[in-house]
């Protein structure tokens, strides 16, 4: 298929980024995750660290608060400007050819602009907590609290910019439980559907 794009939305700690990279490797197509962050940094002038923090998450867990926070006199926030840069880059990448795009509301941005397979990766709290401790180590904050905070901020960001519910299975073609299926099976299933 022409310009077949795979978007991977994911709960924090579910392995969605890993799944996206492995799918891209198998299909021999680019995967945009950190590369996307670099492209947004080049275009926007913000640092990669700033984009990693603000490009998928709101400062607060409330979409309503974020809709009105940090606005200039013209009504645009720094996060709005970042959203516009991110959106433009994602639309451009989709025009260039098949790829995998991880996160950043790509499923919503490309819903009418590309032949898109939209995937949501999730897992139960216990499996995700084990995974983040294994990958990122322990912190002062309990793993479950870290998971809930990141997911709440992702959901608020998604709601603020898409007016849709993040994680609602009706927004995706595939919803995969990586904690039950495992990373390899999730990769197999996406590859088969592609």
pLDDT at 3: 65
Bridging pattern class, strands 31-32 and 4-10: unpaired
- Please state whether 135 falls in left (phi above 0), alpha (psi between -120 and 50) or beta: alpha
Q: What distance in Å separates the CA atoms of residue 142 and residue 138, rounded to the nearest whole number? A: 8
pTM surpassing 0.85?
Answer: yes
DSSP-derived letter for residue 77 is: B
Q: Give yes or no for a contact between 20 and 120, defined as CB atoms under 8 angstroms apart.
A: no
Bridge partners, residue 177, by sequence: 122
pLDDT in tens, 150-159: 999 999 999 9
> Using an 8 Å Cβ cutoff, are 113 and 5 in contact?
no
Q: What is the pLDDT of residue 66?
A: 45
Query: Encoding tokens for residue 153?
Result: 């901020």
Task: Kindly indicate the confidence band of residue 16, based on its pLDDT and cuts at 50, 70 and 90.
Answer: very high
Closest CA to 106 of 76, 83, 80: 83
Q: How far apart are CA 152 and CA 180, in angstroms?
A: 23
* Interval 100-145: pLDDT, tens: 999 999 999 999 877 999 999 999 999 999 999 998 888 888 999 9
- Residue 71 clears pLDDT 60, i.e. is over it: no
């Amino acid at each position: 298929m022409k310009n077949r794009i795979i978007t991977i939305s994911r709960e924090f700690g579910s392995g969605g980024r890993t799944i996206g990279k492995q799918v891209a490797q198998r299909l021999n197509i680019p995967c945009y995750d950190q590369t996307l962050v670099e492209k947004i940094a080049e275009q926007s002038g913000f640092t990669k660290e700033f984009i990693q923090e603000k490009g998928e998450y709101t400062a607060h867990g409330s979409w309503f608060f974020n809709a009105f926070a940090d606005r200039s006199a013209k009504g645009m926030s720094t996060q709005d400007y970042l959203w516009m840069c991110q959106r433009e880059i994602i639309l451009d990448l989709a025009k260039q050819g098949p790829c995998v795009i991880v996160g950043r509301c790509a499923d919503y941005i490309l819903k009418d602009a590309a032949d898109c397979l939209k995937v949501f990766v999730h897992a139960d709290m216990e499996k995700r907590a084990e995974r983040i401790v294994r990958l990122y180590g322990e912190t002062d904050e309990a793993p479950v609290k870290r998971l809930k905070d990141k997911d709440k901020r992702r959901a608020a960001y998604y709601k603020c910019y898409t007016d849709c519910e993040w994680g609602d299975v009706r927004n995706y073609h595939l919803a995969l439980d990586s904690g039950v299926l495992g990373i390899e099976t999730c990769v197999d299933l996406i590859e088969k559907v592609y």
